[in-house]
């Protein structure tokens, strides 16, 4: 068995008392109140969010219901992490939550701060480091569609972006200005960007591999761009046809040009845990590439487990190495779900203070240069996780699921989101009651 066919660094997994974990998170910890149990019982429970979020604003309340028949919220001050009402469907108990709906100042959007003092009543050490607000960067229109075998119509991509922005997502990566020879699926980048550049409500960065791509993106109306380097020499050569150092030289030219035009640049680092050719990647190499991108002016560095081999045992040391050189508030995580480890990896990243998560609606994605890499973690699943943690996202889960259903139907396959699939079944079952 190769190093990429088994979890890496399992011996480094953080320990946790098994009995405590079972008692705290078992279904027995959630008991419905007698007045809420029964056929067809519905209720709506309003929520006041008084804690400050990453944008240093106070959220006054939640305005939209995730689902018309149930709304639940989390109150940390009650002590019991799972002391919430549940909806009884037969023998199963389900908790559905919705984040708060509020807008924020775009000029503060990259100031991701959090404090344990903002969360009164939290005593559980496993939740103290988690930010109050998490920014979700939706990569479905670009990273999600770039590996599709059949060309997705431009109109479909534009419609998808509109739907995603309407969900409340603060960042939607629109497309990539790469050579159509290498990524034919994104040959319509100019048309897509010109169609959505005036769309309000979200930032819409585009990927630019070099100065030529940057110039084309700006001409099409892009107001934010991203560059991508690799922590693996082999992957760098196969993906962008140059060494790590050569790629960094290219991006210095891009960041200089962007600075002159006051255009923000985001940096990606791929293969931060493992490479399909080289195997395990040393955390020190990831830290080096991340630091170079940060030093050249990238406002945020997204750390990508491109082939999805990471576990918390390998993600933690990688993040520790990077955080020694790049401030945690400038870091994001980007996980593929090849081994089903995305959500555990996201959770441990949140516990370490990461406040930005990349994800793809309906779990779309894959990398044309990383054999075996499955889709990104589904945005619906990330939002469901964050709702369950009481973390604000400003994302309407119901609308998000509809957006995932839309693109999945266009691609002719079911959604890759477990949350979307499960909730569609629950809704169908509830309609029969």
- Residue that is written with structure tokens 């939740």 in the block: 127
Q: Is 72 helix (H, G, I), strand (E, B) or coil?
A: strand
The catalytic residue among 49, 167, 275, 367 is: 367
CA 386 to chain centre: 11
In which region does residue 198 sit, left (phi positive, over 0), alpha (psi from -120 to 50) or beta (all else)?
alpha
- C-alpha span between 428 and 160 (Å, rounded): 25
Q: Map tokens 């008392």 to a residue.
A: 17
pTM of this structure? 0.72
The predicted structure's pLDDT at residue 41:
29
Give the pLDDT of residue 367.
55
Q: Is 367 a catalytic site residue?
A: yes
Per-residue pLDDT of the chain (433 residues; tens, 9 = 90+): 433 333 444 344 344 443 343 333 333 333 333 333 332 323 223 333 333 333 333 333 333 333 333 333 334 333 333 333 333 333 333 333 333 333 333 334 434 455 555 544 445 778 889 999 999 999 999 999 998 989 999 999 999 999 999 999 999 999 999 998 889 999 999 999 999 999 999 999 999 999 999 999 999 999 999 999 999 999 998 888 899 999 999 999 999 999 999 999 999 999 999 998 999 999 999 999 999 999 999 999 999 999 999 999 999 999 999 999 999 999 999 999 999 999 999 999 999 999 999 999 999 986 554 555 568 999 999 999 999 999 999 999 999 999 999 999 999 999 999 999 999 887 666 666 6
Contact residues for 292 (Cβ-Cβ < 8 A; gap 6+): 229, 248
Q: List the alpha helices (DSSP H) in 225-378.
A: 233-240, 244-260, 283-295, 312-323, 342-351
| Confidence (pLDDT) at 81 | 35
User: Which strand (E) or helix (H) includes residue 301?
Assistant: strand 300-305
Alpha-helical regions (H) of 188-243? 189-196, 211-219, 233-240
pLDDT at 429: 63
Which pLDDT value is given to residue 375? 80
Give the span between the Cα atoms of 304 and 335, in whole angstroms.
6
Our measurement of the distance from residue 325's CA atom to the centroid of its chain's CA atoms, rounded to an integer in Å, reads 22
Q: Which pLDDT value is given to residue 371?
A: 55
pLDDT in the model for residue 158? 98
């Amino acid at each position: 068995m190769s190093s990429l066919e088994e979890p890496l660094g399992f011996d480094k997994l953080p320990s946790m008392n098994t009995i405590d974990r079972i008692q705290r998170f078992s279904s027995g910890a959630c008991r419905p109140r007698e007045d809420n149990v029964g056929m067809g019982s519905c209720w709506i429970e309003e929520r006041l969010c008084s804690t400050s979020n990453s944008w240093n604003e106070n959220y006054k309340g939640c305005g939209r219901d995730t689902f018309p028949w149930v709304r639940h919220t989390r109150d940390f001050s009650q002590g019991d992490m799972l002391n919430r009402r549940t909806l009884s469907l037969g023998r199963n108990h389900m908790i559905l939550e919705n984040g708060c709906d509020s807008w924020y100042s775009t000029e503060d959007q990259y100031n991701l701060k959090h404090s344990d003092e903002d969360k009164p009543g939290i005593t559980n050490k496993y939740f103290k480091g988690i930010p109050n607000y998490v920014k979700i960067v939706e990569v479905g229109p670009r990273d999600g569609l770039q590996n599709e075998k059949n060309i997705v119509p431009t109109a479909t991509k534009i419609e998808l972006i509109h739907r995603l922005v309407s969900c409340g997502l603060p960042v939607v990566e629109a497309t990539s200005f790469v050579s159509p020879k290498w990524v034919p699926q994104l040959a319509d980048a100019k048309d897509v960007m010109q169609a959505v550049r005036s769309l309000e409500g979200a930032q819409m960065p585009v990927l630019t591999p070099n100065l030529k791509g940057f110039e084309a993106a700006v001409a099409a109306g892009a107001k934010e761009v991203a560059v991508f380097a690799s922590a693996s020499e082999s992957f760098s050569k196969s993906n962008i046809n140059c060494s790590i150092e050569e790629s960094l030289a290219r991006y210095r030219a891009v960041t200089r040009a962007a600075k002159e035009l006051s255009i923000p640049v985001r940096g990606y680092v791929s293969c931060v845990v493992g490479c399909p050719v080289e195997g395990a990647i040393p955390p020190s190499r990831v830290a080096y590439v991340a630091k170079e991108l940060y030093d050249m002016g990238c406002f945020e560095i997204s750390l990508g487990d491109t082939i999805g081999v990471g576990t918390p045992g390998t993600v933690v040391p990688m993040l520790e190495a990077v955080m020694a050189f790049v401030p945690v508030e400038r870091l994001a995580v980007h996980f593929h779900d090849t081994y089903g480890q995305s959500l555990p990896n996201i959770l441990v990243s949140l516990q370490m203070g990461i406040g930005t998560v990349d994800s793809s609606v309906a779990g779309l994605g894959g990398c044309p240069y990383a054999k075996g890499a499955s889709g990104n973690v589904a945005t619906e699943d990330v939002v469901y996780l964050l709702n369950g943690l009481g973390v604000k996202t400003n994302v309407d889960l119901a609308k998000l699921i509809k957006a995932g259903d839309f693109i999945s139907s266009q691609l002719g396959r079911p959604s890759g989101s477990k949350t979307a699939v499960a909730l569609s079944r629950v809704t169908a079952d509830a309609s029969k009651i």
